[in-house]
Structure 1
């Protein structure tokens, strides 16, 4: 059975599972803090209403058995406790069966949340976390030799993730082929971070270098992952660098952090051991039954990979698509097209009526609003409402199911909804009316930044939702 064990990957597995545990922890905390307002019984898109029309086969979830806001919170707290235990190393002290049970529960809990999460959980990094989390079940604790097949499945996931992202760009917006997409991307990405203004102000030549480096990594270097060490490790280090660059230039939830952790699992264990003072057990076991489970897993992934690979090679490639309800093997990709103009929704409220009413803005936690507020750092935490507001600015269809209920919650000064925001103009008092305006935003120039201190410049474009009071009915988003 020695052929099925890879002691040299021990450090790679250690880094991956600790990093994965941290991402799980962040994901469950985000679900706990935001879930009641978004998915709760009285949320914007109530999960109980969704469960009435979604079958178990279509959306497998523990919440088919029972739903209550308290039960949802209990699942989140369970996920937080288990991921914290894994992060702290307690999972590595468990017997093999205990390790597998802990990671399987984490996966099942998060799958249950994602499968009732509706539009709020329709992001590629949700499927990435679930796929990586499922593979972690079969990697084994510290005293078990890392399985060769299990570690190769991590490589396969990273390979599909990077190559899929590279191909979608080459097939998508022509600016990727012209090496000009990053002239706009740092400014128009869903949620810029504190350094995005500086990255946007790089010269066009450096933007071309950024884009070219991305293409080389995702379309050329990525094939090095399939080679033996040290070539695979060197290719993985290149991916680590590029993902680190993306981490410091924008807020993309845990997409870049988890990709970086996946890449570290491929780095040569000797290099990791030189950088991390972690002691490996002297004796590593490799139970025969565990080897058999690993072989079965590899066969399952091979079969389920057919559809994602066909999609990846297809001229009509779809981004971030799951082909099975358990999200075991998925297709990935991001930013096949780049927005050239940034539009933001500004939600306002007034406590008066008539033409002399004074309108004041709601402040969101992450998305641009006040032009003098520096874009904040939130990743790897995910602000779901802020992200969806960016999509609604692109097309009102993204808000069809929840935007007007959201405005209704603001009119009611709903405490759970207000906790999603940074501030409300009238605190916990109910406003008389709310409205939604569309502004065009752009980063200030260096001169404007020096003269005004503002990070953004904005111009009013139109009204998306006319003033709405609690008594209004039949309001439509235009």
Structure 2
């Protein structure tokens, strides 16, 4: 079984499985804490309404058979408990034949959430987690040596993530080709982190070096993932370091972390042993049924790889595309276009019974997205603030907010408890506002002098009304002409 077993990759399997379990755990916690306001029966995009017009074939999910908010919470709880058990090494305690169904169940539970998550779950890292999680089913446990085929499939996944992102940049915005995209990106990315301000203010020659380094890491290094040792471990280390750089410069949920975890598929025990005290592991004879299952799965992935491979070399390359409802063997890539300016939708409310030029408007504060100019951007990743991310898209184009922004304003007029949990600050804790509105602002990072003198991280100017004042129909008030 020398062609099948990879005895030198015990540490790699440990990182792959426990790291993926940790991200699953975060994903289920995110779902549990946010779903009622976003997707619940009274959410902004209710799951029951989605299920009424989408069959199991179009959206495979356990919720096709039954949905209630309590059942959704139960699915999140089971998924989180199983993920925590796998993170603690539970997959190595049970026999191989039992560990595989546990991984399969966790994948099925999260797939059920993603497939009814609609706009809130339309991010590439959802597919990446599901694809990585499905690979974990076939990595085995301490009973057997890690299967070499599955480790190669994990590297193939890292290749698609990195090389796909590199190609989408070269084919997209000219600033990637002239090495100037990072003049803007740290400021205009979806959710800046606490160090983004400092990255933005690096000298422009360093920004150009950053972009050139990114091209090397995404367009050259991925090919070395299929080289022999120690070259492949070196390629993995480059991927890990560049992904940690992205972690430090922004908030991209678990995209960077799952890529880091997958990159360890190329790190052998001998390389890892130079930094960590690893002991030798003796494995049992690999059962033939496991060999057959892994080979069949690998062959299936090879067939499914046709579509993402074709996409990589297509002039019309798609970003973050899934070719099946089970999110297996997908295409990845992001930031083919980089914005030069940053606009933000700011929500406001007032308790005044009538609107006038003297109306006092108070702002709602979000947890992650820019609002108060004196508030330092926070680090949330790998946690994912779904509403904050969609507000960034809404500022780019109102089409992204189609179907949920008006409902969000309605829920604010009701002081809806679950909706307010998605926000950092509610300026109307005692009674709901009489009117709410949305305004558009242009945000720019402050200068060094402004930060020292005024303690502001941003400065902003108003671009006008995004959604005019709204009130509940029962209030019987008119907001016509008021801004």
d(CA) in 2 for partners of 1:405, 1:218: 40
d(CA) in 1 for partners of 2:275, 2:234: 15
- Map 1:18-33 to 2 at 5 A: 18-33=18-33
1:335: Cα distance to partner? 0.2
Residues 1:424 and 1:101: Cα distance change in structure 2 (over 3 Å): same
d(CA) in 1 for partners of 2:399, 2:279: 53
2:379 aligned with 1:362, yes or no?
no
- 1:143–1:281 Cα contact (<8 Å) kept: no
- Quote the residue 1:436 is aligned against: 438
- Quote the residue 1:396 is aligned against: 398
Q: Deviations over 1:108-153 (max 9, x none)?
A: 0000000000000000000000000000000011221100111111
- Map 1:198-237 to 2 at 5 A: 198-237=198-237
- Quote the residue 1:414 is aligned against: 416
- Map 1:454-465 to 2 at 5 A: 454-465=456-467
- Map 1:288-327 to 2 at 5 A: 288-327=288-327
- 1:443–1:455 Cα contact (<8 Å) kept: yes
Q: Secondary structure at the match of 1:336?
A: coil
d(CA) in 1 for partners of 2:68, 2:97: 31
Q: Deviations over 1:154-208 (max 9, x none)?
A: 0110111110000000000000000000000000000000000000000110000
- Quote the residue 1:340 is aligned against: 340
- Quote the residue 2:40 is aligned against: 40
d(CA) in 2 for partners of 1:206, 1:374: 23
d(CA) in 1 for partners of 2:279, 2:69: 43
- 2:10–2:281 Cα contact (<8 Å) kept: no
1:475: Cα distance to partner? 10
d(CA) in 2 for partners of 1:424, 1:20: 35
d(CA) in 2 for partners of 1:158, 1:181: 23
- 1:11–1:273 Cα contact (<8 Å) kept: no
- 2:269–2:278 Cα contact (<8 Å) kept: no
2:254 aligned with 1:257, yes or no?
no
State the number of aligned residues: 477
Taking structure 1 as the reference length, what is the TM-score of the superposition? 0.98
Residues 1:142 and 1:276: Cα distance change in structure 2 (over 3 Å): farther
- 1:413–1:428 Cα contact (<8 Å) kept: no
- 2:346–2:439 Cα contact (<8 Å) kept: yes
Unaligned runs of 5+ in 1: none
Residues 1:450 and 1:200: Cα distance change in structure 2 (over 3 Å): same
- 2:413–2:436 Cα contact (<8 Å) kept: yes
d(CA) in 1 for partners of 2:23, 2:365: 27
Query: Structure 1 stretch 373-382 or stretch 348-357: which is displaced more?
Result: 348-357
Q: Secondary structure at the match of 1:42?
A: coil
- 1:418–1:424 Cα contact (<8 Å) kept: yes
d(CA) in 1 for partners of 2:479, 2:31: 30
1:474: Cα distance to partner? 12
- Quote the residue 2:379 is aligned against: 377
1:264: Cα distance to partner? 1.6
Taking structure 2 as the reference length, what is the TM-score of the superposition? 0.97
RMSD: 1.5
Unaligned runs of 5+ in 2: none
- Quote the residue 1:452 is aligned against: 454
d(CA) in 2 for partners of 1:341, 1:257: 28
Q: Deviations over 1:295-350 (max 9, x none)?
A: 10111001111011111110100100000111111000010000100000110010
Query: Structure 1 stretch 114-123 or stretch 285-294: which is displaced more?
Result: 285-294
1:72: Cα distance to partner? 0.3
d(CA) in 2 for partners of 1:46, 1:437: 26
